[in-house]
Amino acid sequence: MTRQSLRLGMVGGGEGAFIGAVHRMAAALDGEWRVTAGAFSTDSGRNARTGAQLGLDPQRTYDTFDAMLAGEASLPADDRIDAIAVVTPNHLHAPMAIAALQAGFHVFCEKPIAMSDAEAQAIAETVQATGRRFALAFTYSGYPLIEEARTRIAQGDLGAIRLVQVEYLQGWLSQPIDIQGNKQAEWRTDPARAGLGGCLGDIGTHAFQLAEHVSGLLVQAVSADLTIHVPGRRLDDDVSALLRFEGGARGTLKASQVAAGEENGLKLRIHGERGGLEWAQMEPNTLTLRWLDRPSEIVRAGGPGLQDSAMRLLRTPAGHPEGYIEAFANLYRSFAAAIRGEESTWVPGVPDGLRTMKFVEAVIANAASGRKWTSIDPGESE
């Protein structure tokens, strides 16, 4: 039988928005999704231009998110959208995701999941109540070599884990561009739209999610230093934290957006009793494994020795580099498979959203206190 693409609606992501375009490319790459409807911008001209540029039926370029929900719900089941991608500023994630779920649509939501742990809990409950799928754009966990790392640790190759070091260094906020008119920078440093954490919420959450996801361990307590380096900025642009994991592993987490000259330096290192591993997002097709008793190994995307779980996330043979869009597309591909009821690989979702909200709240509480450690409530989600 002829396989049809799933239909995706999008809220946010008007022309010029970085992350909306990435969602569209990621969704398109494997032919599993087609953008069919959208409410891309509250600027009606920009909204219309985006829809036209994407080849949408003008009827399905909606003026508002609510209009999209209503309009699509009124279409026949085999025509209306299957899912909605929420790619707005942070403060709209939770209310829109909840409304979309309640209207019967699956949701692929940008991170952070919400502005607070309470909002995240509300999403969790709505997912539970509606039975709809909810995916969260922790894109970096879509990389094949991250899956390799996770699998290796899960099967005990490194022995019991002792050290987790994660860092995420960017430099783009080294100057006060948020105060000087850069739109991306402006909303990401505005507490009303970004949330309680600046750098912490924007990229610290990526680092935290990756650390827990790959190590397979929950962080129990955090000690943190949260800083605003650029005068006049309203949210932190730099965070350093010590982490204590269940089982005794110790961690460090460093995230900064004022590491001048750095691009998108997400790096993870984990050591266990018998060896360690290292992965860096900017050269994502390599995983270095170091051993106590034999030479280091370079495990490569598509190369010999790669675990099956990682191989499934690749599209090309060894030596043909896959990157950020492919990692993102892995999430969309698996999200589609889950919706279709087919075998699917893991997709980040509600549990990751809840954990990262708890982390953000714990860091903020700790940084404002004189106490060494603040617990992160394990919650019920894991």
Gap between the Cα atoms of 142 and 27, Å rounded: 13
Q: Assess contact for 226 and 188: CB atoms under 8 A.
A: no
One residue of 88, 126, 130, 170 binding its own copies per CB under 8 A: 170
Residue placing its CB nearer to its own copies in the complex, 114 or 289: 289
Residues in 68-127 at the binding interface with its own copies, rule: CB under 8 A:
none
Residue placing its CB nearer to its own copies in the complex, 294 or 380: 294
Q: Assess contact for 292 and 162: CB atoms under 8 A.
A: no
Neighbour tally for 296: CB within 10 Å:
12
| Strand-strand pairing, 265-272 and 250-256 | unpaired
Residue placing its CB nearer to its own copies in the complex, 66 or 283: 283
Residue placing its CB nearer to its own copies in the complex, 101 or 329: 329
Site string for its own copies, 175-194 (x = CB under 8 A): x-------------------
The CB-of-377 to its own copies minimum distance in angstroms stands at 19
One residue of 326, 354, 357, 376 binding its own copies per CB under 8 A: 326
Site string for its own copies, 225-264 (x = CB under 8 A): x-x-x--------x-xxx-x---x-xxx-x-x-xxxxxxx
Half-sphere exposure of 46 (CA within 13 A, CB side): 12
Binding segment toward its own copies, per CB under 8 A, in 38-46, 101-109, 196-204, 296-304: 296-304
One residue of 319, 340, 378, 382 binding its own copies per CB under 8 A: 319
Return the amino acid letter for 353.
G
CA-nearest of 126, 9, 23, 120 to 64 is 9
One residue of 16, 156, 247, 305 binding its own copies per CB under 8 A: 305
Q: Assess contact for 91 and 122: CB atoms under 8 A.
A: no
Residue placing its CB nearer to its own copies in the complex, 152 or 358: 152
Gap between the Cα atoms of 280 and 266, Å rounded: 6
CA-nearest of 159, 137, 160, 162 to 243 is 162
Tell me if 44 contacts its own copies by CB under 8 A.
no
Q: Assess contact for 226 and 204: CB atoms under 8 A.
A: no
Tell me if 346 contacts its own copies by CB under 8 A.
no
Helix (H, G, I), strand (E, B) or coil at 68: helix
Name every residue whose Cβ is closer than 8 Å to that of residue 287 and which is 6 or more positions away in sequence: 145, 148, 149, 277, 278, 279, 298, 299, 300
Gap between the Cα atoms of 102 and 84, Å rounded: 12
Residue-level length of the chain:
382
One residue of 3, 74, 78, 343 binding its own copies per CB under 8 A: 3
The CB-of-291 to its own copies minimum distance in angstroms stands at 5
The CB-of-303 to its own copies minimum distance in angstroms stands at 6
Residues in 265-294 at the binding interface with its own copies, rule: CB under 8 A:
265, 271-276, 281-285, 288-294
Tell me if 156 contacts its own copies by CB under 8 A.
no
One residue of 324, 332, 335, 359 binding its own copies per CB under 8 A: 324
Residue placing its CB nearer to its own copies in the complex, 71 or 114: 71
Query: Which phi and psi angles does 161 have, rounded to 5°?
Result: -80, 135
Binding segment toward its own copies, per CB under 8 A, in 51-59, 107-115, 211-219, 352-360: 51-59
Gap between the Cα atoms of 74 and 65, Å rounded: 14
Q: Assess contact for 54 and 24: CB atoms under 8 A.
A: yes
One residue of 116, 174, 220, 375 binding its own copies per CB under 8 A: 174
Residue placing its CB nearer to its own copies in the complex, 230 or 360: 230
